[in-house]
Amino acid sequence: MSNNTIAVYGASGFQGALVLAELDRRGGTVILAGRDAEKLESAAAQANLTDAEVRVATVDDGAALVAAFRGADAVINCAGPFTPTGARVVDAAVAAGAHYVDTCGEQLFLHEIYRTRSAAAESAGVTVVPAATDGGVPGDLLARLIADRLGPLAELTSVHRFGGDAAMSRGSIRTMLGVADTMADGGVAYLDGAWRPGPFDQLAPVILPGGTEPVAVGSFPLQEAVSVPRHTSIRNVRGAVEESTRALFATPLTDDMIEALPMGPTAAQRAAGTWTIVLDVVAVDGRRARGVIEGTDTYGTTASIAVEAARRLVADPPAAGVLAPAQAFDPADFLAALTPHGVRWSIDID
């Protein structure tokens, strides 16, 4: 799989740097793309990719963006927040005939891309897999593995949990601020076989792994609610986080406060941060299952997932269109590729 060319848009950011490092580790040709030549040159130097091509294009210049992606087999878009500009990067990648993945966690943007970009991707013969992140891929793949064991599903509730003092990058905080309203009302959930906007009914407290007492959880705009119904027969999919996390995300911050923060967590902070996704599932026949998938280092894991996804799209293209992770990749095989990065999963059926 070494003979591929992958363009990274937003290569000058915190997540972009980790994606560049992972691409360098895996081999292949890298193109650094973004809006600022100086920052891109500096990112190339820091990643030891001084021979890599740097291509400058703003999101407002569609022709330049397509030219930036021309010749690439795949694009990894790390330029968040995605809600204001991400669709233009998707369109340019598709127009350039390149597969596309991104590091987006903004649920309504993902929902929009699934709904509106499939026809163009199909015509171009390329595959778009949004949310190639720690929050977007593991839960979707695990949900599919549970459905393979239980058959048609009635309910899935996904709870994402962050631990070990997980620290966020400046870009993540800026992104979350931009979707504060969506986070407050829960985004969209899949209820009675259709996507519906929040606010939603309160969820019952849940006992999370390692705990003995139920903890309060609140609706949250997670990827599984928009991706799982695309590949699995199911009536309801809801996303949630602990209420304490919701409160943290709702903390008001000004631009000045964000700019004063470091660009992102240090390597030690990243390694100390944990993420856990808990999927509580009820099958149509009444059987219940819990799937748990967990790891450390949100940003490092996201780099591994985005690069793994892009390389798989190039090496073994699935159907063209906008696909959920479990439509594009073999779930168990993809998760096995994340084991060396410390990702572990289990499924318990009652």
Ligand X SMILES: NC(=O)c1ccc[n+]([C@@H]2O[C@H](COP(=O)([O-])OP(=O)(O)OC[C@H]3O[C@@H](n4cnc5c(N)ncnc54)[C@H](OP(=O)(O)O)[C@@H]3O)[C@@H](O)[C@H]2O)c1
The footprint of ligand X (CB under 6 A) covers 10, 12-16, 34-36, 39, 59, 78-82, 85, 103, 105, 133-135, 169-172, 175, 263-264, 298-299, 302
DSSP-derived pairing of the beta strands 288-296 and 236-242: unpaired
Strand, coil or helix: 125: coil
Half-sphere exposure of 101 (CA within 13 A, CB side): 30
Q: Kindly tell me which of 282 and 325 has the beta carbon lying closer to ligand X.
A: 325
State the nearest-atom distance from the C-beta of 91 to ligand X, in Å. Answer: 14
Q: Kindly tell me which of 72 and 283 has the beta carbon lying closer to ligand X.
A: 72
Backbone angles phi, psi at 323, to 5 degrees: -120, 145
State the nearest-atom distance from the C-beta of 110 to ligand X, in Å. Answer: 10
Nearest-Å Rg of the Cα atoms of the chain is 19
Task: List the one residue out of 118, 139, 116, 142 whose CA is nearest residue 128.
Answer: 118
CA distances from 116 to 166, 224, 249, 250 (A): 34, 18, 29, 30
Q: Kindly tell me which of 60 and 348 has the beta carbon lying closer to ligand X.
A: 60
Q: Kindly tell me which of 232 and 302 has the beta carbon lying closer to ligand X.
A: 302
State the nearest-atom distance from the C-beta of 264 to ligand X, in Å. Answer: 6
State the nearest-atom distance from the C-beta of 155 to ligand X, in Å. Answer: 24
Q: Kindly tell me which of 159 and 289 has the beta carbon lying closer to ligand X.
A: 159
State the nearest-atom distance from the C-beta of 43 to ligand X, in Å. Answer: 8
Task: List the one residue out of 332, 333, 305, 335 whose CA is nearest residue 101.
Answer: 305
